[in-house]
Structure 1
Amino acid sequence: MPLTLPPDATVLFQGDSITDAGRLRALHTDLGEGYPSLLADRLRTRHPGATVLNRGVSGDRVADLRARWERDTLAHRPRLVSVLVGVNDTLRRYDAGERSTIRAWEEDYRHLLTETRDRLGAHLVLVEPFIVPVSREQWAWRENLDPRIQAVRRLAAEFDARLLAADGLLNQAARSHGRPELIADDGVHPTALGHRILAEAWADLVLTG
Structure 2
Amino acid sequence: MTISLHESATVLFQGDSITEVGRLSEPDRPLGLGYARLAADLVRAARPDSGITFVNRGVGGDRVSDLRARWREDALDIRPDVVSVLVGVNDTWFRYRSGEVTSARSFEDDYRAILTQVREGSDAQLLLVEPFLIPVTAEQWAWREDLDPKIHAVRRLAGEFDAALLAADGLLNQAARSAGAAERIAGDGVHPTPLGHRLLAEAWTALAGL
TM-score normalized with structure 2 length: 0.94
Aligned length: 208
> 1:120 maps to which residue?
122
Q: Determine whether 1:55 maps to 2:57.
A: yes
The structure 1 residue matched to 2:140, chosen from 138, 143, 147, is: 138
Report sequence identity in percent: 63
Deviation at 1:24, TM superposition (A): 3.1
> 1:207 maps to which residue?
209
Amino acid at match of 2:130: E
Equivalent pair of 1:11/1:78 in contact (CA under 8 Å): yes
1:71-93 CA-to-partner distances (Å, cap 9, x unmatched) read 00111000001000000000010
Deviation at 1:3, TM superposition (A): 2.9
> 1:17 maps to which residue?
17
> 2: CA distance between counterparts of 1:26 and 1:72?
18
> 2:5 maps to which residue?
5
Amino acid at match of 1:110: R
> 1: CA distance between counterparts of 2:142 and 2:57?
30
Aligned-pair Cα RMSD in Å: 1.6
What SS does the aligned partner of 1:124 have?
A: strand
**Structure 1 gap segments, 5+ residues each:** none
39-48 vs 73-82, which moves further:
39-48
TM-score normalized with structure 1 length: 0.95
> 1:170 maps to which residue?
172
What SS does the aligned partner of 2:190 have?
A: coil
**Structure 2 gap segments, 5+ residues each:** none
Deviation at 1:205, TM superposition (A): 1.6
Equivalent pair of 2:31/2:55 in contact (CA under 8 Å): yes
Amino acid at match of 1:145: L
16-25 vs 92-101, which moves further:
16-25
